[in-house]
Amino acid sequence: MANVAVIGAQWGDEGKGKVVDWLASRAEIVVRFQGGHNAGHTLVVGEQTYKLSLLPSGVVRGKLGIIGNGVVLDPQALLDEIARVTAQGLAVTPENLRIAENVPLILPLHPALDKAREAARGEDRIGTTGRGIGPAYEDKVARRSIRLCDLAEPATLSAKLDELLLHHNSLLRGLGAPEFAKQELLDQLLALAPRLLPFAEAAWERLDAARHSGARVLFEGAQAVMLDVDHGTYPYVTSSNTVAGNAAAGAGIGPDAIGMVLGIAKAYSTRVGAGPFPTELHDEIGRGLGDRGNEYGTVTGRRRRCGWFDACLVRQAVKVGGIQGIALTKLDVLDGLEELKICTGYRIGAETLRRLPAAMGAQAAAQPIYETLEGWSGSTRGARSYAELPAAAVKYVRRIEELVEAPVVLLSTSPERDDTITLRDPFAG
Ligand code: IMP
């Protein structure tokens, strides 16, 4: 099967944008299957820099983009993003963007609840993006979401809003936040309907047709395995399944169609938001990684926490995420460091573990066990073959492969699209 799914193998921001862009240029269809406008990446195409949050990357490359049912869609955020890229000269029409008709919508009450809850948590906050992602997924599993298809049925929409507001206004009142008026929401949604419905369709049918015609499909994940609602550092996670298994359910296609699963991992670790981060560095080395790696959130603008590469954690992501090959990014950020550390396991009290346990207390207590490797004085920046890399850099990559139990199939050595060492074509299966 010549399809590819791309997922993050750490806590997000692994540099998926560049890899996804390269793969999108070789696919015919690009599908987003989870998350929402909490995601963000920057694509540089010629003179233009596109900041995408919801639009599948393929749209920039002239490919068909599909927003799958596994996404939570903020209609206003989508229309704003379309307006932004349109102003940059890109056409986004129902010709090149389709949206699953059963996608749940994010309404203004979702970010309101997200923010009110975070404020109420105080010191214990998750550090969400405040975009309403969690509350929107809660409504989906609670069976009270307004879905895109509901915009075509005003009577259904009206009845569903009653149920939704009964729930949300009670919560908002309890949190001391302003409540929402039904008529205003109904009017807003009905006004948006003619702009959104032309994009709606049974996306699964299009994917089924693609499967039969042999068209190459790229499944574009957002966030990463350690932010997965089941397998991540719960509760400091996002509210969807970010593992490749969800590409099938979140797009509406069988699991055998997913094809090769590529996991993106940074050559060190970063995290935005709160939660356990065993290899976090609070020293000059950590600050140096942040500065050289330009580690600021695309969506939040917040400075990312930085630390050593955690092979124990990436190995876990490989296993639960179904990752068959790794794209290792930002190797050049490590240039010039005298020595490098890789985490191979954790010490928790008297125990030594080769996995991050599930319990919150144990995760917080996990002390990394490090292996120290020699750094390199030469530059890896812009290298396009292994032969151009310093020997110690090759050793570092090889050791990562051994420890995470997956081959490095792509190696990115600068933000430039062509500065990539390709060891295996993911579309070749
Ligand atoms: P939410 O997805 O806004 O609910 O945020 C939950 C957690 O996921 C927070 O720690 C966020 O910082 C994190 N998060 C959400 N989206 C991204 C992303 O695209 N990159 C990195 N972290 C993210």
Q: What is the pLDDT of residues 114-138, one digit of tens each?
A: 999 999 999 999 999 999 999 999 9
Q: At what angle do helices 311-321 and 391-404 cross, to 10 degrees?
A: 50
Residues facing 266 on adjacent strands: 329
Q: How confident is the model at residue 40 (pLDDT cuts 50, 70, 90)?
A: confident
pLDDT (0 to 100) of residue 1: 52
Pocket test of ligand 1: the residue of 20, 128, 231, 303 to mutate, having most ligand atoms within 8 Å of its CB, is 128
Please check whether residue 104 is in contact with residue 110, taking contact to mean a CB–CB distance below 8 angstroms. no
Of 13, 21, 74, 114, catalytic:
13
pLDDT (0 to 100) of residue 208: 97
Average pLDDT, the chain: 95
Residue with CA closest to ligand 1 atom 19? 39
Please check whether residue 46 is in contact with residue 83, taking contact to mean a CB–CB distance below 8 angstroms. no
Q: How confident is the model at residue 6 (pLDDT cuts 50, 70, 90)?
A: very high
The residue with tokens 């709606």 is 200
Residue with CA closest to ligand 1 atom 8? 238
For the segment 23-32, what is each residue's pLDDT rounded down to a tens digit?
998 999 999 9
State yes or no: is 110 an active-site residue: no
Residue with CA closest to ligand 1 atom 15? 38
Q: How confident is the model at residue 34 (pLDDT cuts 50, 70, 90)?
A: very high
Which of 48 and 180 is assigned the larger pLDDT? 180
For the segment 208-246, what is each residue's pLDDT rounded down to a tens digit?
999 999 999 999 999 999 999 999 999 999 999 999 999
State yes or no: is 41 an active-site residue: yes
Class of 266-428 in CATH: alpha beta
CA atoms within 13 A on the CB side of 144: 18
Ligand 1 interacting residues, C-beta cut-off 6 A: 12-13, 38-40, 126-129, 131, 133-134, 222-223, 227, 236, 238-239, 272-273
Numbered ranges of CATH 3.40.440.10 in the chain: 4-102+199-260
pLDDT (0 to 100) of residue 347: 98
Choose which CATH entry (3.30.470.30, 3.40.440.10, 3.40.50.1100, 3.40.30.10) describes domain 4-102+199-260: 3.40.440.10
Class of 109-196 in CATH: mainly alpha
Residue with CA closest to ligand 1 atom 20? 12
Numbered ranges of CATH 3.90.170.10 in the chain: 266-428
Of 21, 37, 41, 110, catalytic:
41
pLDDT (0 to 100) of residue 196: 98
Nearest ligand 1 atom to the CA of 302 is: 12
pLDDT (0 to 100) of residue 255: 96
Q: How confident is the model at residue 43 (pLDDT cuts 50, 70, 90)?
A: confident
Pocket test of ligand 1: the residue of 266, 272, 299, 306 to mutate, having most ligand atoms within 8 Å of its CB, is 272
pLDDT (0 to 100) of residue 302: 80
